[in-house]
């Protein structure tokens, strides 16, 4: 029979590790993590004022020695189950007034898979950069891949996969995301409900 003590010790340490992570996040950023949310390596992440996140959110920036960086501006809101991953040398910059819908994924690095004589897991990762300019809205379930800039005041429709740059004031949808129109129409007149 195996020795049960290492497993018992591991199980007892986990709540304390989570409490320590929550304390570090609050101390560094003033953010109280809701249940199920996790920020790994909060010392590698810069977060602006009035930041909000919901349960299930995951922020990763663990490889600072490889150049990983995660910068979040002021008044940024993350809905449920958002994953922002700046590991493996990736860099993610989120500007002010950005809204990220539920279930979105931002991943700033990919696995290499060119060599067939090695397992994909054993190949290097290819880091990149993701930039979300001011006043961007990502709908539910949007996936943003590396080397993408989403321009100011753009909207990305639910379920889209963003593989290339989106110009400012654009509305983009689809897999891969394509611009279907711009937001430059200034003929908006508020209705009674909006007034």
Q: Which residues are catalytic?
A: 111
Strand, helix or coil for residue 5 = helix
Residues 6+ apart with CB under 8 A from 64: 41, 44
CB-CB neighbours of 22 under 10 Å? 17
* Token pair in block for residue 63: 């490889």
Cis peptide before 176 (omega within 30 of 0): yes
Beta strands in 76-141 (DSSP E): 77-78, 83-85, 91-94, 99-100, 105-107, 109-111, 125-127, 129-132, 137-138
Distance of CA 20 to the CA centre of its chain: 22
98, 134 Cβ separation under 8 angstroms: yes
Phi first, then psi: give them for residue 34, nearest 5 degrees.
-75, 165
Pairwise CA distance, residues 146 & 62, whole Å: 17
């Amino acid at each position: 029979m195996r020795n049960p003590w290492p497993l018992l010790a591991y199980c007892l340490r986990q709540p304390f590790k989570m409490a320590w992570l929550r304390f570090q996040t609050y101390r560094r950023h003033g953010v109280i993590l809701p249940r199920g949310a996790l920020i790994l390596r909060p010392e590698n992440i810069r977060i602006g004022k009035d930041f909000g996140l919901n349960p299930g959110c995951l922020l990763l920036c663990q490889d600072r020695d490889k150049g990983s960086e995660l910068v979040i501006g002021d008044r940024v809101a993350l809905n449920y189950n958002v994953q922002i991953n700046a590991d493996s040398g990736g860099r993610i910059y989120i500007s002010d007034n950005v809204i990220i819908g539920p279930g979105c994924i931002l991943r700033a690095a990919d696995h290499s898979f060119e060599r067939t004589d090695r397992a994909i897991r054993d190949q290097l990762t290819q880091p990149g950069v993701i930039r979300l300019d001011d006043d961007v809205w990502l709908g539910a379930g949007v996936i943003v891949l590396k080397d993408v800039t989403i321009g100011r005041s753009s909207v990305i429709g639910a379920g889209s996969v963003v593989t290339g740059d989106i110009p400012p004031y654009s509305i983009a949808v689809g897999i891969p995301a394509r611009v279907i129109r711009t937001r430059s129409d200034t003929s908006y007149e508020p209705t009674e409900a909006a007034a």
